[in-house]
Amino acid sequence: MNILYVGIDDTDSPKGMCTTYITFVIINKLKSFGFNIMGYPKLIRLNPFARFKTRGNGAVSFKIPYDNNNDLYKIKKIIIDTVSSDSMMSYENTNPGVVFYEITNNKKMDLRLKKFTYKAIYEILTIKEAKKLAQDVGCEFHQFKNGRGIIGSLAAIGSELEDKTYELLVYRVPKNYGTSRKVSYDSVVKMNKITYPYTFDNLDENYIAITPHTPCPVLYGIRGETPEIVEMAHKLVEFHEDIEGFCIYETNQHTDMHIQKINQIKDMVKDACYKIKGTVDETPRNIEGGHYFFNLKDNSGIIECAAYEPTKNFRETIKLLRKGDIVTIYGGIGAHNTLNIEKIQVCSLAEDYVLNNPICGCGHRMKSAGKNKGFKCPSCGLKLRNNSKIKIPIERRLKTGFYEVPPSARRHLSKQIIRMRNNNVGD
């Protein structure tokens, strides 16, 4: 069997469009010409620190079987023409890339493509190295403007998902783009009640988390464990506007595919995401704007960790950390070389205490007798030469276990604690 792998990326801008929507349009056009894709299209999230991302650094790929070169030509033409006409070309940072990779006679995919996917999730890559790889492995690529999208397109083609989730995306009709989304809150609450935890991130505090806040074509997206559950959940959601249709994507969202296991703080680099164990080195401090910071250390070094204001209630957990606590942090190193926490496992708690002056034999609390002069009882006048204060233990309000940021602050790639539990992942 001959299979064409198709990768598409960088077609949208903050003002509109979405690569998944262009893919949905392409898949429908292909279907109308009698070409059906194999399985589900893939929505692959890449390095969250990529500089030119529009939102969640997603790229798309799908597979399509073909019989002969005539069909291959028609398929490619439909794809290229649609990307060319529907992308937000006028936006400076929209640089679409389309990659075709043909596999004939059941040959296997070149391993270098699979490795490239991990590189695009772990590192920051250049257009030049993406083009070189495309040439080396025999991919055909089409670049629009500077063709940055070739990076994501190749990575989406090479992706092989051990752990995976699904997202059902519902698309609005164009006349409604940019208007407020008419989705019933109560129906989302009901849908969540019935389908959670097999669907997730449907609600956050008191609002719907499935609807985006951008002028893009997506009405809502439901994320879940299987194609069946996201489709069932979709049927439970009530909305009051016309839709163009929906498409289910297989994704690496909520799999922690971006998290690199590492043994030492000193080996961590900027623009990458890690799981790292260390000791809290100070009581967390806050700065204006409601951001919390603390230093984490191990034998190799120290890194500053952050829970920023958008992580909302998660900061209440961070505030409770104390010097000496042992924690494992999952997060990414962004600007200022600070580790931005996605979730934390509190492994063990240090003793917390306050230091008080000693109590005199007569029952009164003693006072300092001056610097390095010990204590003096204000009642009976007894003096103590020893300068040491008394440690009074304080009950820790924090418990050991996992804590995570709320859905509104969650990275697309971050695995929720509920998924870790259900898949028996974790320490």
Q: Which residues bind ligand ATP (CB under 6 A)?
A: 9-10, 12, 18-19, 46-47, 50, 52-58, 95, 120, 123-125, 148-149, 151-152
CB neighbour list of residue 77: distance below 8 Å, 6 or more residues apart: none
Q: Residues 11, 83: contact at Cβ < 8 Å?
A: yes
Whole-number minimum distance, CB 156 to ligand ATP, in Å?
9
Whole-number minimum distance, CB 17 to ligand ATP, in Å?
8
- Residue 336 in tokens: 């200022």
Q: Residues 247, 167: contact at Cβ < 8 Å?
A: no
Q: Is the CB of 141 or the CB of 403 nearer to ligand ATP?
A: 141
Choose among 364, 411, 412, 406: nearest CA to 384: 364
- Residue 296 in tokens: 């984490």
Whole-number minimum distance, CB 171 to ligand ATP, in Å?
13
Alpha carbon distance 220, 241 (integer Å): 12
Q: Residues 311, 409: contact at Cβ < 8 Å?
A: yes
Whole-number minimum distance, CB 120 to ligand ATP, in Å?
4
- Residue 381 in tokens: 């006048």
Whole-number minimum distance, CB 89 to ligand ATP, in Å?
12
Q: Is the CB of 46 or the CB of 79 nearer to ligand ATP?
A: 46
Q: Is the CB of 55 or the CB of 182 nearer to ligand ATP?
A: 55
DSSP state of 360: P
The SS3 of residue 62 is strand
Q: Is the CB of 96 or the CB of 224 nearer to ligand ATP?
A: 96
Q: Is the CB of 250 or the CB of 325 nearer to ligand ATP?
A: 250
Q: Residues 256, 162: contact at Cβ < 8 Å?
A: no
Whole-number minimum distance, CB 391 to ligand ATP, in Å?
50
Question: Which residue bears the tokens 């009164």?
Answer: 364
Q: Is the CB of 148 or the CB of 315 nearer to ligand ATP?
A: 148
Q: Is the CB of 259 or the CB of 320 nearer to ligand ATP?
A: 259
* Residue nearest ligand ATP, Cβ-based: 152
Whole-number minimum distance, CB 164 to ligand ATP, in Å?
18
- Torsion over CA: 47, 52, 53, 55 (sign): positive
Backbone angles phi, psi at 41, to 5 degrees: -65, 155
